[in-house]
Structure 1
């Protein structure tokens, strides 16, 4: 069934929001709203409610009651709802992609890719969730039996991110719902329209409203969610800084906590790489896809000095060929950054690098984009680790490239970071790549590829990149808790 875009439905008035709050029994003294802004134009396209702490608590209490019934719903029924949700994603992809593109600036072709790939992620959960619920017998004798059963966490809070709102939310709620949990979903204020689309599709698929509920707002709403007493799990995706605050807020309640945070993901190109031009094209895509706004985007590049000039020339040529412009045009590759305050941050990284000796090559073929949050794709060469661009997360269309002497120098520089999400090596032999990757403290390593996430593999960060695991079988197990049960035969003595 086709649906209307949330972007076309959000003219929610303050009076309407107040009436809704009053109908749920909340006293309304002051109604706080936040603007939804199209980053391609800088224009406000709607406003949404910042829900109060009382409203957050009320939703949580309803979910806690609903989860007690949901955990007993037959697996086949839970599965059918998520299968229907997946079908609705597929059927409504054009509308969903347009909403995503409009509210956070993702090019429309990439927005469609995200929705399409989300279907595959949910399918992985559908094919494997029963495995993590299966009880196991670890000992059985004539008088003693020991077994392990797996139970849902309870109510899971999902504080999600704006850069890949379908990916990072379904990583949590699809696995959580299938394993018997209820979900309190807080989308980013920069992707709340997409959050509304997700919520409506889940309801249309049959998921009860007291099993999945969305709360809207900004940082204060997220804090209210994180500090809830009685949560079974708290799953956050976002910046390292915000993740640390979330951890502090959750700590007094000893809640199970997972943090998917940022990265400063390095790539090393060895001199023996089979095709320098192909490597440059692959890495340019890994650095600038989604405007570089991904936790696993390539953020640092190290190139053997023997092929440095050849690689740099090919890399810059690729970047300058990217189409920058209106994200709703099908041939646009780079759109605006999602948040206007990030523009001066990126500019400061460029100025810092230039002042310390770097050379900048910036995209000059920008369309007229008055009012939008556009930053010219920029390549910084001759960089080093005194520069912010090689140490601090950029999270935008900006990359630094540094020449290195050998594997040892590359390895030392790749490890010179507080993050530990992904790393890549481009070279001729996979064993050489694996030898380097095993020396890096990262959750995921790549050979001759980058910026790739598979639903079949565990997705985890180390050090400043986070705690816990999503995706893969390890990720599914994050949503259940084991319970050991011992059976001892009664004594035959009177």
Structure 2
């Protein structure tokens, strides 16, 4: 697509409260997944740009007003940010839909509203951050203080740019930190929009800085910069391992929300009307580009063929197409790289002996990166397609004979981010939920998230929690103060 066909003006870096060009003068295209056309260009930053951003953030933390501001004043600004997100929802919806390929109806109801709620929730938490007094046997007055950690390096992925940046930035700012944000290479536009929105809300210059560019250059520089005090990362397990390793070399605390490969268990007493809706949502939402997706369906053997038959007819009826159509539920993949990865896994499934129940092919539409949601049965137990994170609209289906086998199959993965089960037996629901290796478990639904409910992973899905009061714990450090009390003299008594 030609330079003249760009729909948006070129974007700069946001550093120190101002827009600026990159040091090397390099730029990269941002592509609309629905058409394959160029939306705009953004700066391809280098390590020098990262250094400038960190230095601005460092100055804002060491000498600026934000960490010293009364918590209720910070909360007022974060509430204003939530208001502005809703006031400018139309702009954010359009931006996120064009940048990521998300259907506009989901952008509005899920992405934009979740971001606003996150800023509101963190604003409330900010006013409750306090320490505690501690009783000791020594003659002293001991207490703790919760203080911000400092400069936070936030690194976020391509699939939920607005939500996943808000979970980190809102919590970090609420605790009095400052942030240097490196958004995903391919989907940086809402991050740049939010930088300006937060400034309009009253966030002081230097408190939020956004540096666009590649993970190999910008991400690496951020991980290694001595001026960064903490890393908050969401992305693949492979890159997360590297990020945690580099942060460990520099003794920086990290939180890691990594990959997933969740199991969705349908027991023989499940309400199938409820279960099928949840099953479909769990693997087609956001075109399957969802670390908490449910791509592994485990079905009680008496229901296995029935469930497959329902899915074969129901899945193709879910509206797929132009994300700007309000009726669309499934949009394109976020990029050609993601589309090709899904195609490779479907070809592998065929080689492994899998049966394609429905889907299994691209959708040729407007030059975009569309793939039909795909259900696969009869794969061998050692299938790579079952074992690995496909990160696309692909569902594998396996039968099980009893509860123990269902739990064993669900836990037979190195991941542990999410899991779900469908049953009418409340005792079974609690029992099985306790046995599943996952940071969050849904019963009779999927992907029900709220800013008050923490989520995060175990095993190869990472550590640390986002959302809930637990989220702010990772953005604070505890300081203890012990004041010696001299013995009371006779004169004082």
Tell me the TM-score normalised to structure 2 length: 0.92
Structural mapping, 1:180-329, within 5 Å:
180-219=176-215, 220-273=217-270, 275-329=271-325
Unaligned runs of 5+ in 2: 1-5
Task: Map Cα deviations across residues 49-84 of structure 1 (whole Å, 9 max, x no partner).
Answer: 111211111111111111133211122221121111
Equivalents in 1 of 2:368, 2:345: separation in Å? 20
1:467 and 2:454 matched: no
Contact persistence 1:36–1:48 (CA under 8 A)? yes
SS of 2:409's equivalent in the other structure is helix
Structure-1 residue corresponding to 2:353: 357
Kindly indicate whether the alpha-carbon contact (under 8 Å) linking 2:346 and 2:360 is maintained by their aligned counterparts in 1.
no
Q: Which moved more, 1:84-93 or 1:46-55?
A: 46-55
Return the offset for 1:181: 0.5
Aligned ranges 1:322-341 → 2 under 5 Å: 322-341=318-337
Distance between the aligned counterparts of 2:158 and 2:465, measured in 1?
19
1:166 maps to what in 2? Answer: 162
2:3 alignment counterpart: none
Residue 91 to residue 484, structure 1, CA distance change in 2 (3 Å): same
Task: String of CA shifts for 1:392-423, please: whole Å, max 9, x gaps.
Answer: 00111111011111112111111110100011
Between 356-365 and 192-201, report the one with greater CA deviation. Answer: 356-365
Q: Shift of residue 171 of structure 1?
A: 0.9
1:23-172 to structure 2, matched below 5 A, reads 30-68=24-62, 69=64, 70-113=66-109, 114-131=111-128, 133-139=129-135, 143-172=139-168
Mapped partners of 1:269, 1:314: distance in 2: 14
After superposition, what is the alpha-carbon deviation per residue over 1:437-460, rounded to whole angstroms, capped at 9, x for unaligned?
Answer: 212221111211122222112212
User: Among residues 151, 168, 172, which one is paired with 1:176 in the alignment?
Assistant: 172
Listed one character per residue, the Cα deviations across residues 109-168 of structure 1 (whole Å, up to 9, x for unaligned) are 11112101222222221222222x212101178932111111100011111122111221
Change (3 A) 1:296 1:479: same
Contact 1:281 1:318 in 2 (8 A): no
Matched residue SS, 2:371: coil
Using the TM superposition, give the Cα deviation of residue 186 of structure 1 relative to its aligned residue in structure 2, in angstroms: 1.0
The DSSP-based 3-state class of the residue aligned with 2:375 is strand
Q: Structure 2 CA distance, aligned partners of 1:60 and 1:277?
A: 52
2:484 aligned with 1:488:
yes
Q: How far is 1:245 from its partner?
A: 1.8
Deviations 1:261-302 (A, max 9, x none): 1100101101011x2132111110111011011110111000
Distance 1:363 1:25, change over 3 A: closer
Runs of 5+ unmatched residues, structure 1: 1-6
Question: 2-side partners of 1:437 and 1:327: how far apart?
Answer: 35
Deviation at 1:368, TM superposition (A): 4.7
Q: Residues of 1 paired with 2:350 and 2:321: CA distance? A: 26
- Tell me if structure 2 keeps the 8 A contact 1:325–1:366: no
Question: 1:4 maps to what in 2?
Answer: none
- Aligned position for 1:3: none
Q: Is the CA contact (8 Å cut-off) linking 1:352 and 1:387 kept in structure 2?
A: no
Instruction: For residue 31 of structure 1, report the CA deviation from its aligned partner.
Output: 2.6
Kindly tell me: are residues 453 and 24 of structure 1, through their superposed partners in 2, closer, same or farther at Cα, counting changes over 3 Å? closer
| CA distance in structure 2 between the partners assigned to 1:76 and 1:170 by the alignment | 19
Q: CA deviation at 1:258?
A: 0.7
Q: 3-state SS of the aligned residue for 2:127?
A: helix
What is the CA distance between 1:386 and its match in structure 2? 2.0
TM-score (norm 1): 0.92
Any idea what SS the aligned residue of 1:302 has? strand
CA RMSD of aligned residues (A): 2.3
Relative to 1, partners in 2 of residues 1:129 and 1:11: Cα closer, same or farther, differing over 3 Å? closer
User: Number of residue pairs matched?
Assistant: 477
